[in-house]
């Protein structure tokens, strides 16, 4: 252990979960060392990252600015919909996070594994690759998010047996069936946690003439969101702007109402899962009867989501331990085994 830590000093290897909502960095031998929102604040019309008295406005500092910026500044989520909306800003963000972790340990250049949404294009992958390289990485491996999520969840994906992961993030839901260290069938949907927030915003507007911001909506989802009847139904107060009077006010919303609002995005996620199941080979389908489905990503934490997916698919569904860190832990696992698992896991890199 001590020796490994010492070696770690000389070769700092990093696994990065570049998520649409959150970016996490795992360092070999140390676990998760950074966990921040994937948000950057820039001067409007430029790619210049905003400087604050406390340093660069990236991550947590920038998230607090979302929806609260004056005209001259914009706080952006460069990966919001699972595609890289802005290459330069993504690069600035990745650069900032890598350097923050690498910091003053700067002995050797790190090896970096970056997990990216599986729906991103080759050009976007290339951009991530270049960004990591420019931030000082010695070697860069790009891995698809569901593969990392499955590794992090401890699924036996190296076996000739199907494992299924549903990773519900902010901008995308990735559904994948894996066997022999590779993806057999995979669907990447642009429906995930953000859409649940939006559905809650729409509900408040339609039902209460109240406009609420995305952060408030996210709070409602986390505090009282559910997909099936709760033993003790919940309620909470929300604040926003009245659409008729134009003035700030408050309202109460119940968990039954939130459930109603979440029906559509949750229904779409379930459809995606069923659609993926329909595409797999019979032997793999047979394996899933025993192995079931594992949920990862922050969206997996919505109360009762596992139950509704189980009901719709007829399969066992479980939520991975600590679903928000699953992908990051998976990248770290990937790093550990780069050498042993060899080319089967490195194929992604061959493209570059």
Tell me: does residue 221 bind ligand ADP (CB under 6 A): yes
* Torsion angle defined by CA atoms of residues 332, 338, 339 and 340, in that order, rounded to the nearest 10 degrees: 80
Cβ atoms < 10 Å from Cβ of 86: 17
Q: Which is nearer to Mg ion, 19 or 110 (CB)?
A: 19
Tell me: does residue 330 bind Mg ion (CB under 5 A): no
Q: Alpha-carbon distance 75 to 65, whole Å?
A: 6
Q: Which is nearer to Mg ion, 46 or 121 (CB)?
A: 121
The residues, ordered by sequence, that sit 6+ positions from 56 with a Cβ below 8 Å of its Cβ are 49, 50, 96
Task: Choose, by CB under 5 A, the member of 15, 37, 169, 171 that binds Mg ion.
Answer: 169
Task: Choose, by CB under 5 A, the member of 12, 14, 16, 19 that binds Mg ion.
Answer: 19
Cβ atoms < 10 Å from Cβ of 106: 11
Contact 52, 151 (CB under 8 A): no
Tell me: does residue 15 bind Mg ion (CB under 5 A): no
DSSP codes, 239-262: EEEETTT--EEEEEEEHHHHHHHH
Tell me: does residue 147 bind ligand ADP (CB under 6 A): no
Tell me: does residue 329 bind ligand ADP (CB under 6 A): no
Q: Which is nearer to ligand ADP, 22 or 131 (CB)?
A: 22
Tell me: does residue 240 bind ligand ADP (CB under 6 A): no
Task: Choose, by CB under 6 A, the member of 14, 16, 22, 199 that binds ligand ADP.
Answer: 22
CB of 333 to Mg ion, least distance (A): 15
CB of 284 to Mg ion, least distance (A): 24
Question: What's the angle, vertex CA 281, arms to CA 275 and CA 286, rounded to 5?
Answer: 95
Task: Choose, by CB under 6 A, the member of 284, 297, 315, 320 that binds ligand ADP.
Answer: 297
End-to-end CA distance of the chain: 34
Tell me: does residue 170 bind ligand ADP (CB under 6 A): yes
């Amino acid at each position: 252990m001590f020796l490994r830590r010492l070696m770690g000093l000389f070769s700092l290897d990093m696994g990065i979960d570049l998520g649409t909502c959150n970016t996490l960095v795992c360092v070999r031998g140390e676990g998760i060392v950074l966990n921040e929102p994937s948000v950057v604040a820039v001067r409007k019309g430029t790619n210049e990252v905003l400087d604050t008295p406390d340093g660069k406005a990236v991550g947590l500092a920038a998230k607090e600015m979302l929806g609260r910026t004056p005209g001259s500044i914009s706080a952006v989520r460069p990966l919001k919909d699972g595609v890289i909306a802005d290459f330069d800003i993504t690069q600035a963000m990745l650069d900032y996070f890598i350097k923050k972790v690498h910091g003053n340990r700067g002995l050797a250049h790190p090896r970096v594994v970056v997990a990216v949404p599986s729906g991103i294009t080759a050009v976007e992958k290339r951009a991530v690759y270049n960004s990591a390289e420019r931030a000082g990485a010695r070697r860069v491996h790009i891995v698809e998010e569901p593969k990392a999520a499955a590794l992090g969840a401890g699924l036996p994906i190296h076996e000739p047996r199907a494992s299924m992961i549903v990773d519900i993030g902010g901008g995308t839901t990735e559904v994948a069936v894996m066997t022999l260290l590779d993806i057999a069938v995979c669907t990447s949907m642009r429906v995930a946690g953000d859409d649940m927030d939006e559905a809650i915003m729409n509900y408040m507007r339609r039902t209460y003439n109240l406009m609420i911001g995305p952060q408030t909506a996210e709070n409602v989802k986390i505090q009282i969101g559910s997909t099936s009847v709760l033993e003790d139904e919940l309620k909470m107060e929300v604040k926003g702007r009245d659409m008729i009077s134009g003035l700030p006010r408050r309202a109460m919303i119940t968990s039954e109402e939130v459930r109603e609002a979440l029906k559509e995005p949750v229904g779409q996620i379930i459809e995606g899962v069923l659609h993926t199941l329909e595409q797999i080979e019979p032997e793999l389908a047979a394996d899933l009867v025993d192995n079931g489905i594992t949920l990862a990503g922050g969206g997996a934490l919505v109360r009762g989501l596992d139950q509704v997916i189980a009901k719709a698919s007829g399969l066992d569904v479980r939520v991975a331990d600590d679903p928000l860190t699953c992908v990051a832990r998976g990248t770290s696992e990937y790093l550990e085994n780069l050498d042993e698992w060899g080319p089967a896991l490195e194929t992604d890199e061959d493209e570059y």
